[in-house]
Amino acid sequence: MTIHLTRSARQDLEAIRTFTVDRWGRQQWLNYYRGMAAVLEQIAAAPDAGRNRDVLFPGVRSISYKAHLILGLAYLRVSVQRFAHLRNTFKRFSVGL
């Protein structure tokens, strides 16, 4: 199954990149990104994996990677909606569908 990143997910990823590079350097960002990309590949291979997050929106599932949750929907393709830091509460978080 293919992976699609929504505009919000791409913006989240850019914010994660900027923060990580500023705080810990480019090499740490590359390491983090490679790990996150591996999780996205796992999601593509098993789109029904992860925790059900219907409380946010019907069909949303999440898988964690280190300090972030990857939130997505799987129908004909996996649509990654957001990358959320684990400190975010769901009350403050909008999937942005």
Domains belonging to the chain, first-starting first, are 3-85 (3.30.2310.20)
For 34-54, write each residue's pLDDT tens digit: 999 999 999 999 988 899 988
Please compute the mean of the pLDDT values over residues 20-27 and round it to a whole number.
98
- CA quadruple 64, 65, 66, 69: dihedral, nearest 10: -50
Q: What token pair was written down for 71?
A: 């939130």
Beta strand pairing status for 3-5 and 78-85? parallel
User: Is pLDDT at 25 greater than 90 in this prediction?
Assistant: yes
pLDDT of the residue at 34: 97
pLDDT of the residue at 59: 87
- List, in sequence order, every beta strand (DSSP E) within 1-97: 3-5, 51-52, 61-65, 68-74, 78-85
Residue 78 burial (C-beta neighbours within 10 Å; 0-12, 13-18, 19+)? buried
Band the pLDDT of 97: cuts 50, 70, 90. Answer: very low
84 and 93 Cβ atoms separated by less than 8 Å: yes
pTM, rounded to two decimals: 0.79
Give 84's Cβ-side CA count (13 Å radius): 22
